[in-house]
Amino acid sequence: MSFLRLVVQDPLPVLRSPRLVLRAPAMADHGAWAELRRASRDFLAPWEPLWPEDDLEKSAFRRRLRRLAGEIREGVSYPWFVFDAATREILGGVTLSQVRRGVTQTGTLGYWMGEAHAGRGVMTEAAGLVVGFAFDTLRLHRIEASCLPENGRSIRLLEKVGFVREGLARRYLCIAGEWRDHLLWALLADDPRFVASRNAP
């Protein structure tokens, strides 16, 4: 994770690595985002909540941006779209949400990847950038994540970033219209494996 570079901008920092740019969603992204989501629908559907009928429409996207803007201002959610640094093509999205302060100092990591871009380590790299931001800039103590037990891609991603499996939550989230069990994962700012990965050349 030593390649993390943070560029602070309003309303959300831009995160960069040699091959990725992570920035806040903007209205101008709607067309490319909707096309990527549409083309990846069958790929994403088994792992996500049911999509509203108007999910890909511009009006729904505008409502989403308004909601996210409020959550960013309140410091409870930090959503990024993931772009190829060279082509500026949108590849997916990653969000640090449900940020809790006080004695908890915790947030939840979520992500999605367009089907055409899966399997290249892109989301592992993007998640690493967001984790670095969460610990270095937000000074969080713990980041949580969850995934379906059969989601091998997500399990491998979380393991590569340094997350540790902590348990199983029964009927934890409503995915594809059904309440499903989820594996629970967490990463601490001082987890030895994570610290070692950040200090690697």
DSSP characters over 56-123: TSHHHHHHHHHHHHHHHHHTS-EEEEEEETTT--EEEEEEEEEEE-TTT-EEEEEEEE-GGGTTSSHH
Distance CA(198)–CA(201), nearest Å, equals 8
List the CATH number of the domain containing 87.
Answer: 3.40.630.30
* 201 vs 197: CA distance, rounded Å: 9
Amino acid at 160: K
Asked if residue 158 lies in contact with residue 147, where contact means CB atoms within 8 angstroms, the answer is yes
pLDDT at 199: 59
List, for residues 125-167, the tens digit of each pLDDT value: 999 999 999 999 999 999 999 999 999 999 999 999 999 999 9
CA–CA dist 135, 130 (Å, integer): 9
For the chain, percent of residues with pLDDT exceeding 90: 89
Residue 69 and residue 11 in contact, taking contact as beta carbons nearer than 8 Å: yes
Q: Mean pLDDT of all residues in the chain?
A: 92
Please count the residues of the chain.
201
Which domain range does residue 139 map to? 5-199
Q: What is the pTM for the complete model shown?
A: 0.90
Q: In the chain, how many domains are there?
A: 1
pLDDT at 75: 93
Residue 192 binned pLDDT confidence (cut-offs 50, 70, 90):
confident
Other beta carbons within 10 Å of 195:
14
- Residue range 84-93: average pLDDT? 97
pLDDT of residue 66: 95
**pLDDT at 97 exceeding the cut of 80:** yes
